[in-house]
A and B are shown apart, each in its own frame.
Chain A
Amino acid sequence: MKRINRIIESLLFAADGPISLKRLAQIVPDADDDQIRESIEELNNHYQDHAFGIVRIAGGFQLVTRSEYHEHIQKMYAARTRPRLSQAALEALSVIAYKQPVSRIEIEAVRGVNSDGVLGTLLERGVIEIRGRAETVGRPLLYGTTEEFLKYFGLNNQSDLPSMEEIEAMLREREEERQEEEVTDRPEPPSEDAT
Chain B
Amino acid sequence: MAYRIKLENFEGPLDLLLFLIKKNEVDIYDIPIAPITRQYLEYVQLMQVLDLDFASEFILMAATLIRIKAQMLLPKPQIAEEMEEIDPRQELMARLLEYRKYKEIAHELGRRESKHRLYHPRTIAEADYFDDETGLEFGQVTLYDLLSAFNEVFRRFENQPVHQVITPRVSVDEQIKFIKAFVKDRDQISFSQLLQQVHLKTRAAVIGTLIALLELIRSKSILVKQSGPFSEIWIFNPSASN
Contacts and interface: CB of A to CB of B under 8 A. Distances in A.
Interface of A: 13-17, 55, 62-70, 73, 84-85, 87-88, 90-91, 93-95, 97-98, 110-114, 123-124, 129-130, 146-147, 152-155, 161-162, 164, 167-168, 170-171, 175, 178-179, 182
Interface stretch (B96-104, B156-164, B197-205): B96-104
A192 B88 CA distance: 41
A16 to B, nearest CB: 4
Given A13-B122, A110-B102, 20 more contacts: A14-B124, A16-B129, A63-B122, A65-B120, A67-B118, A68-B118, A70-B117, A70-B118, A70-B119, A90-B106, A90-B113, A94-B103, A94-B105, A97-B105, A110-B98, A111-B14, A112-B12, A113-B11, A129-B144, A154-B112
Given A63-B121, A129-B144, A113 B106 contact: no
Contacts of A114: 55, 57
Is chain A's binding surface mostly helix, strand, loop or mixed? helix
Nearest to B122: A63
Contact of A130 (B113, B118, B119, B144): B144
A14 B14 CA distance: 47
A175 B89 CA distance: 19
A129 B143 CA distance: 8
B185 interface: no
A177 B29 CA distance: 15
B11 A168 contact: no
Contact of A112 (B99, B117, B119, B120): B99
B28 A64 contact: no
A91 B9 CA distance: 14
Contact of B103 (A73, A91, A123, A153): A91
A64 B123 CA distance: 10
Contacts, number: 124
A112 B14 contact: yes
Contacts of A14: 124
Contact of A152 (B99, B106, B116, B124): B116
Nearest to A129: B142
A98 B102 contact: yes
A67 B117 CA distance: 8
Contacts of B117: 70, 84
B173 interface: no
Contacts of B101: 164, 167-168, 171
Given A91-B102, A112-B13, A55 B113 contact: no
Nearest to B143: A130
14 contacts: A63-B122, A64-B121, A66-B119, A67-B119, A70-B120, A90-B113, A111-B99, A113-B55, A146-B142, A154-B115, A154-B116, A167-B104, A175-B28, A178-B25
